[in-house]
């Protein structure tokens, strides 16, 4: 059983003062638009509760103005919540003093920004080692660590360049390196790849997934791009107007969107591309599960499943790590799933 | 009833006189201490600069010009300094340079910290702004007089009056530079665990450097223009010659001494401006 890295309970953020009044009105069930009319205060985050598991990539999705950028900043307290709890590794961080918060940020968490937010006066290496410098690591040690991580993402040859001499994709790789260099157990990524062109974006997603395979960290990722969320997210949370609408695995969200807002995200997205072997199973727990034959892992992607099925008369087995057969895939089960998804995505147009 | 326009209904002038005289009577010791410190500092700067032989001084300026701006500017520096030397204004020009640098030092020592404070505290920023407007637009002669009353004639009131005139751009451009630092860059500082001081010295000031350097440049230019006027209270330097030319209606002398001021101004302006455009600060100007 995985343990929760972050537990957020009944979190609120009110902008514009009169927070006590606003909280009372919210708790008596008034709508945030009414509250804005009466008090001029904006409710950014409205009674949000969720948990992020250790080692997962938790993607928070929403349109602009949905409060996702506020929510991510509450988690490392770049903004202070108005009410509620944020429990990180069992400790309620809303109660920490500013000094304790500085300690926590140095030790345990880092952040990647949409605009990269590199320091233009520092070389790539000095940017990479920024977090370590701040926490007082001596030059030799922090530069060694900076180089190590730069090498991981293929930026070592650029260590002594300045950020403005690099392309956008490379600059964000430096942003990623800066966040990784402090070896945090939690990484916050605010629209980290949104400013990049699609090609660079998927390249960065691959780098992130590769890094995650080498060393699992808990990643809290804010995005407005569903394809990105489906690609990298272990679980996805969808936010609208300051509230959390739905939390679930990509498959759960594709299969059962909570409402039209969620369904709208799927417009023009071919969700069948994100199907995995375990979603395609026709006969679960078949009787002759022990027999030999072609098999794939549950996370096998659709193209790989199709490749395996091609020219086979036998159904394909889905086996977990222990070799246990979870179910069978037949050409007709694959076809019906794909057509179901295609229909769904065209129906919403 | 008397004509309302001739009646002094609000005698601000009287109040100011009273305050000035009260300060003169009760705080003379403090003014002496400030005056002596500034006098000591300015004397030292002038002594050091006058101690350098003209040729060496010329070589230093030309060298810095070559380093920052290339050989064309170095050539200009040589010609300009040669002209000043040949017209016989070398000593006065160096005295003016010393005054300008002394006043600039004091201005920056005051202006940069106040600018930082303004950027970090909205209330302070709001209160300081009208004071800066006052300092910049109040005719300079108006505060030359009380300065001379407090500190006597000579270098000190000249430098202080100059500081009053030259501080505002240092405050304004420091404050502006810090406020213009990208919000996410500041957040990045916080997110990686910067303390307030670390944020200032490792994020805000370095990124604001081009703007602060523009403030330094403006401060120097303002100081140079003011030390000329400050010759009226006996600050010395090229201002004395300008003043003499006015009193004697000697247009030729006025032109020669004025030309020396202009040449010195161009040299100082171009050199200090170039320090705002180092390779790394150029990146900051492009933003991120």
The DSSP code sequence of A114-166 is: TT----TTS-HHHHHTHHHHHTT--HHHHHHHHHHHHHHTT-GGGTTS-GGGS
Give the class (CATH, top level) of A273-347: alpha beta
* Shortest distance, CA A253 to any CA of chain B (angstroms): 31
**Cα–Cα distance between A60 and A221 in angstroms, integer?**
6
User: Mean pLDDT over all residues of chain A?
Assistant: 87
> Looking at residue A180, what is its pLDDT?
93
* Shortest distance, CA B285 to any CA of chain A (angstroms): 9
Closest CA to A348 of A281, A237, A240, A259: A259
DSSP string, A282-298: SEES-TTTTS---EE-T
Is 60 exceeded by the pLDDT of residue A188? yes
A33-47, A129-143, A250-264: which has the highest mean pLDDT?
A: A129-143
Is 70 exceeded by the pLDDT of residue B2? no
pTM of the model as a whole = 0.81
Contact A119 B207 (CB under 8 A): yes
Pairing of strands A316-319, A295-296: parallel
Q: What is the mean pLDDT of residues A199-218?
A: 90
Chain A residues inside the 8 Å CB shell of B185:
117-119
> Looking at residue A1, what is its pLDDT?
41
**Among B116-120, B150-154, B178-182, which is the least confidently predicted range?**
B150-154
Percent of chain B with pLDDT over 90: 58
> Looking at residue B7, what is its pLDDT?
64
Answer for the pair B148, B157: CB distance below 8 angstroms, yes or no: yes
> SS3 string of A164-196?
HHCCHHHHHHHHHHHHHHCCCCEEEEECCCCCC
Q: What is the mean pLDDT of residues B86-93?
A: 91
Question: Was domain A54-78+96-269 assigned CATH 3.40.640.10?
Answer: no
> Looking at residue A290, what is its pLDDT?
56
> Looking at residue B278, what is its pLDDT?
61
By the 10 Å C-beta count (0-12 exposed, 13-18 middle, 19+ buried), A345 is classed as middle
CB neighbour list of residue A2: distance below 8 Å, 6 or more residues apart: A53, A54, A55, A56
Give me A38's structure tokens. 């009466």
Among the partner residues B185, B191, B206, nearest to A105 by beta-carbon distance: B191
pLDDT range class, residue A347, cuts 50, 70, 90: low
3-state helix, strand, coil in chain A (%, to 5): 45, 25, 35
Give me A321's structure tokens. 């790590």
Chain B residues inside the 8 Å CB shell of A102:
193-195
Nearest residue of chain B to residue A107 (CA atoms): B193
Q: What is the mean pLDDT of residues A3-18?
A: 89
Dihedral sign for Cα atoms in the order A99, A100, A106, A109: negative
CB neighbour list of residue B158: distance below 8 Å, 6 or more residues apart: B99, B147, B227, B230, B231, B233, B234, B235, B236
Is 80 exceeded by the pLDDT of residue A85? yes
If you search the block for the tokens 């202070």, which residue do you land on? A80
CATH 3.40.50.300, chain A: domain bounds: 54-78+96-269
Nearest residue of chain B to residue A121 (CA atoms): B280
> Looking at residue A218, what is its pLDDT?
94
Is 60 exceeded by the pLDDT of residue B4? no
CB neighbour list of residue A343: distance below 8 Å, 6 or more residues apart: none
pLDDT digit string, tens, across residues B200-238: 999 999 999 999 999 999 999 999 999 888 888 888 889
Contact A133 B202 (CB under 8 A): yes
> Looking at residue B279, what is its pLDDT?
53
B184 backbone dihedrals φ, ψ, rounded to 5°:
-70, -25
Contact A120 B283 (CB under 8 A): yes
Is 50 exceeded by the pLDDT of residue B283? no
If you search the block for the tokens 């926490």, which residue do you land on? A135
For A13, the enclosing helix (H) or strand (E) is: strand A4-15
Contact B185 A117 (CB under 8 A): yes
Q: What is the mean pLDDT of residues A8-22?
A: 89
For A48, the enclosing helix (H) or strand (E) is: strand A42-53
Sheet strands side by side (includes A4-15)? A42-53, A4-15, A83-88, A91-92
CATH 3.90.1280.20, chain A: domain bounds: 273-347
| CA distances to A26, A43, B115, B182, B210 from B178, in Å | 37, 29, 9, 9, 10
Give me A26's structure tokens. 């919210």
- Residue A317 vs residue A165, higher pLDDT: A165
Contact A102 B203 (CB under 8 A): no
b/e map of A42-74 (b: 16 or more CB within 10 Å)? bbbbbbbebbbeebbbbbbbbeeebbbbbbbbb
Give me A57's structure tokens. 């990539």
Closest CA to A214 of A149, A158, A274, A275: A149
By the 10 Å C-beta count (0-12 exposed, 13-18 middle, 19+ buried), A253 is classed as buried
Closest CA to A147 of A193, A105, A180: A180
Contact B187 A133 (CB under 8 A): no
| CA distances to B17, B198, B204 from B23, in Å | 10, 40, 39
* Shortest distance, CA B155 to any CA of chain A (angstroms): 39
CATH code of the domain occupying B28-286: 1.10.3720.10
pLDDT digit string, tens, across residues A312-337: 777 888 888 787 788 888 888 888 88
Closest CA to B112 of B38, B202, B175, B163: B175
- Rounded to 5°, angle at Cα B89 from B87 and B93: 140
Answer for the pair B100, B227: CB distance below 8 angstroms, yes or no: yes
Is 60 exceeded by the pLDDT of residue A349? no
**Cα–Cα distance between A114 and A186 in angstroms, integer?**
17
What is the ipTM for the molecules in this complex?
0.82
Contact A118 B288 (CB under 8 A): yes
Among the partner residues A107, A109, A120, nearest to B288 by beta-carbon distance: A120
């Amino acid at each position: 059983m995985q343990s929760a890295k972050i537990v957020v309970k009944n979190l609120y953020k009110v902008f514009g003062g009169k927070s006590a009044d606003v909280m009372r009105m919210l708790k008596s069930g008034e709508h945030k638009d009414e509250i804005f009319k009466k008090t001029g205060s904006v409710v950014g985050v409205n009674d949000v509760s969720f948990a992020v598991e250790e080692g997962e990539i938790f993607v928070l999705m929403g349109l602009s103005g949905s409060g996702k950028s506020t929510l991510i900043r509450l988690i490392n307290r770049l903004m202070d919540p108005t009410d509620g709890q944020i429990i990180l590794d069992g400790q309620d961080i809303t109660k920490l003093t500013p000094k304790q918060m500085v300690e926590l940020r140095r030790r345990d968490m880092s952040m990647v920004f949409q605009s990269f937010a590199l320091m233009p006066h520092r070389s790539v290496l000095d940017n990479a080692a920024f977090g370590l410098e701040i926490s007082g690591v001596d030059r030799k040690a922090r530069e060694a660590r900076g180089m190590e991580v730069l090498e991981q993402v293929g930026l070592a040859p650029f260590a002594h360049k300045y950020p403005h001499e690099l392309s956008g994709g490379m600059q964000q790789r430096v942003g990623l390196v800066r966040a990784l260099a402090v070896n945090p157990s939690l990484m916050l990524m605010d629209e980290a790849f949104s400013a990049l062109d699609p090609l660079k974006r998927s390249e960065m997603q691959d780098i992130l997934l590769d890094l995650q395979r080498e060393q699992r960290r808990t990643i809290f990722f804010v995005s407005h791009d569903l394809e990105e969320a489906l690609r990298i997210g272990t679980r996805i949370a969808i936010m609208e107007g300051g509230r959390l609408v739905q939390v679930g695995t990509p498959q759960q969200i594709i299969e059962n969107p909570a409402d039209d807002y969620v369904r709208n995200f799927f417009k023009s997205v071919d969700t069948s591309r994100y199907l995995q072997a375990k979603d395609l199973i026709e006969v679960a727990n078949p009787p002759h599960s022990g027999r030999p034959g072609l098999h794939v892992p549950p996370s096998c992607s659709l193209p790989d499943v199709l490749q395996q099925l091609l020219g086979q008369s036998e159904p394909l087995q889905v086996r977990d790590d222990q070799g246990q057969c979870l179910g069978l895939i037949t050409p007709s089960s694959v076809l019906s799933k794909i057509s179901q998804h295609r229909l769904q995505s065209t129906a919403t147009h | 009833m008397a004509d309302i326009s001739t009646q002094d209904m609000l005698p601000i002038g009287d109040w100011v006189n009273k305050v000035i005289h009260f300060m003169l009577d009760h705080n003379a010791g403090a003014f002496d201490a400030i005056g002596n410190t500034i006098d000591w500092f300015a004397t030292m700067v002038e002594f050091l600069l006058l101690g350098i032989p003209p040729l060496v001084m010329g070589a230093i300026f030309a060298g810095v010009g070559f380093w920052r701006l290339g050989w064309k500017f170095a050539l200009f520096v040589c010609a300009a300094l040669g002209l000043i030397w040949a017209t016989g204004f070398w000593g006065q020009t160096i005295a003016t340079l010393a005054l300008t640098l002394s006043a600039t030092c004091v201005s920056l020592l005051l202006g940069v910290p106040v600018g930082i404070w303004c950027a970090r505290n909205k209330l302070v920023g709001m209160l300081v702004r009208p004071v800066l407007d006052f300092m910049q637009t109040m005719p300079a002669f108006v505060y030359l007089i009380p300065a001379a009353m407090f500190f006597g004639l000579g270098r000190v009131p000249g430098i202080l009056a100059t500081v009053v005139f030259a501080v505002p751009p240092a405050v304004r451009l420091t404050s502006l530079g810090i406020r213009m630092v990208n919000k996410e860059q500041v957040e990045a500082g916080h997110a990686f665990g910067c303390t307030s001081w670390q944020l200032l010295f490792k994020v805000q000031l370095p990124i604001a450097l081009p703007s602060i350097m523009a403030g330094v440049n403006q401060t120097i230019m303002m100081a140079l223009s003011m030390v000329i006027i400050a010759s009226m209270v006996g600050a010395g330097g090229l201002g004395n010659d300008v003043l003499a030319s006015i009193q004697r209606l000697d247009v030729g002398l006025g032109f020669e001494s004025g030309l020396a001021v202009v040449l010195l101004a161009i040299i100082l302006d171009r050199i200090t401006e170039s320090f705002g455009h180092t390779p790394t600060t150029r990146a900051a100007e492009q933003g991120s």
